[in-house]
Amino acid sequence: MEQISLIAHESMLSRMERTIKRLWILAIILVVALIGSNAAWIYYESQWEVVETTEVTQENSNGLNNYIGNSGDIYNGKTDNP
């Protein structure tokens, strides 16, 4: 079995300690970036107001209306105008 000198062992330990410290800093930066990006998209999405309306009105001179729905079907009907 080969012996490792004390100087080599201590230098390896100090390198590993620096690496672990850098990894902790990286983990903290990533957590802050995650929280910041989530806050940014929540702020962006909160700027818009969602409005849904389903009422459609039309006026036509002959009293008939045609409406093409979202499915592509044509709906025929009379207008409410007398």
Give the residue carrying structure tokens 């006026």: 59
Across residues 45-64, what is the average pLDDT? 77
Give the per-residue pLDDT at 81: 44
Structure tokens at 44: 């962006």
Give the per-residue pLDDT at 58: 67
Across residues 20-42, what is the average pLDDT? 98
Higher pLDDT, 1 or 31: 31
78 within 8 A of 64, measured Cβ to Cβ: yes
- pTM of the shown model: 0.53
